[in-house]
Chain A
Amino acid sequence: EMQLVESGGGLVQPGGSLRLSCAASGFTFSSYEMNWVRQAPGRGLEWLSYISRGGTTIYYADSVKGRFTISRDNAKSSLYLLLNSLKAEDTAVYYCARELWETGVRRIDYWGQGTLVTVSS
């Protein structure tokens, strides 16, 4: 069974850091691009970052560029997001999401259950 399981969320003070992890199973992790998406309480979906299969191509949303760092370890079938200089507005559920490319067409076809990050003093 295909699974994406996020972990690492929690309560952190403003200005602090967290490292989120996403453990993949049930599929060949190294064959898929991956993304991080977040959702603030009662709000919509916000894309944060993308990483290619080999980790050589990375993109960020302007809202987190310079503060968040995406990475992956294909040997461990894991995706990571390092969150630095956290602000109250970073409070959200953070999802890892698998991206599928087929004949030039992309789609985000599977999402994890999310991990909650709360930034508060």
Chain B
Amino acid sequence: SYELTQPPSVSVSPGQTASVPCSGNKLGNKYVCWYRQKAGQSPVLVIYQDNKRPSGIPERFSGSNSGNTATLTISGTQAMDEAHYYCQAWDSSTVIFGGGTKLTVL
């Protein structure tokens, strides 16, 4: 079965750029979505179709996807961005989630 792999944690200083990677076999051939989940809340879509932002998501959120790796990038990271981030893709008819990355803003 298809798998998406994320590092358990990423740390970033306020104002700096955070990069959250997600790897999978030939992931660049699939569209990737990213979700943000703050503690005690439901997930929120922050990136779809590799690099598109839904309305209401700040411009500092961006995405890329090529080869075997998709990356969520948060520019000018703020304390409010501290959360778990999950990548997601479809494999045939099933939804695949990465294991999630805890982004800590130090």
Contact = CB atoms under 8 A, between A and B. Distances in A.
Main secondary structure of the interface of B (DSSP, over half): strand
Given A44-B100, A45-B100, A108-B88, A113 B42 contact: yes
B61 interface: no
A110 B48 CA distance: 12
Which size class do B's interface residues fall under? Answer: 20 to 34
Main secondary structure of the interface of A (DSSP, over half): strand
Contacts, number: 55
A109 B94 contact: no
B44 interface: yes
Interface of B: 1, 31, 33, 35, 37, 42-45, 48-49, 54, 84, 86, 88, 90, 93-100
Interface of A: 35, 37, 44-47, 50, 59, 61-62, 95, 97, 105-114
